[in-house]
Amino acid sequence: MNHSISLTVNGVRRDIELDDPRVTLLDLLRERLQLTGTKKGCDRGQCGACTILIDGRRINSCLALAVSHDGADIQTIEGVARGDQLHPLQAAFIAHDGFQCGFCTPGQIMSAIGLMNEGQAGDDPERIREGMSGNLCRCGAYSGITDAVLEVQTGLVEAKQRRSA
């Protein structure tokens, strides 16, 4: 039995016919919508490479059935930059060598955007590390990743302090 769903993906509405209820959001993005920036690492919710935002919240797209997410507003790594202008986190990952092979990077960046949206970590490196623990980096670029997220978070905290001063 086919299921019709509609999603908003990076601001664009997509109407989709699913011929199989087993399709995850991850497979839908990669195989049907050709948005291959979202990576399939473990496919079991353990590595975080498939992290996307649904309604601004980070989740593992490998453990989300597409058919259950009818109406969701999805953001993937492809929707992060504005044309040639990188998102501050993308620029910070480059500046701080927050990657080596790059496979986990889209998930790391989507997770870091989710972390910022949650507003719980502030500029505390320990809270950032804890908040990013759902994203594995096999190359071990963790110190660069933490520095990149910390730089952007510190900028946000300082901007907030300036506004309230």
Partner 1 sequence: MKTFEYVRPASVSDAVAAAAQPGAAYLAAGTNLLDLMKGGVSRPNRLVDVTHLPGLDRIERLADGSVRIGALVRNADLAHDAEFAKSYPAIAEALLSGASAQLRNAATVGGNLLQRTRCAYFYDTASRCNKRAPGSGCDARLGENRMHAVLGWSEACIATHPSDFCVPLAALDAVVEIEGRAGRREVALEEFHRLPGENPERDSTLEPGELIVAVRLPAAARDFAGHARYLKVRERTSYAFAVVSAAAALRIDAGKIADARLALGGVAAKPWRARAAEKLLAGHAPDATVFRRAAEAALADAKPSGDNAFKIELAQRVLVRALTLAAAGTPKRIPALPASPFSSAIGSVA
Which residue of 4, 6, 21, 31 would you call a contact of partner 1, by CB under 8 A? 21
83-91, 97-105, 122-130, 157-165 -> range binding partner 1 (CB under 8 A)? 122-130
> For the CA atoms of the chain, what is the radius of gyration?
16
Q: Which residues contact 86 (CB under 8 A, 6 or more apart)?
A: 94
If DSSP codes are grouped into helix, strand and coil, which group holds residue 63?
A: helix
CB of 135 to partner 1, least distance (A): 8
Please give the structure tokens belonging to residue 121.
Answer: 């970590």
Nearer of residues 133 and 143 to partner 1, judged by Cβ: 133
Minimum CB separation of residue 84 from partner 1 in Å reads 29
Contact pattern for partner 1 over residues 81 through 110, marking x by CB under 8 A: ------------------------------
DSSP string covering 73-97, please?
Answer: EEE-GGGTSBTTB--HHHHHHHHTT
Whole-angstrom distance between the N-terminal and C-terminal Cα of the chain? 59
- Residues of the shown chain interacting with partner 1 in the complex, contacts defined by CB under 8 A: 1, 3, 20-22, 24, 43-45, 48, 51, 57-60, 63-65, 67-68, 111, 114-115, 118, 120, 124, 126-127, 129-135
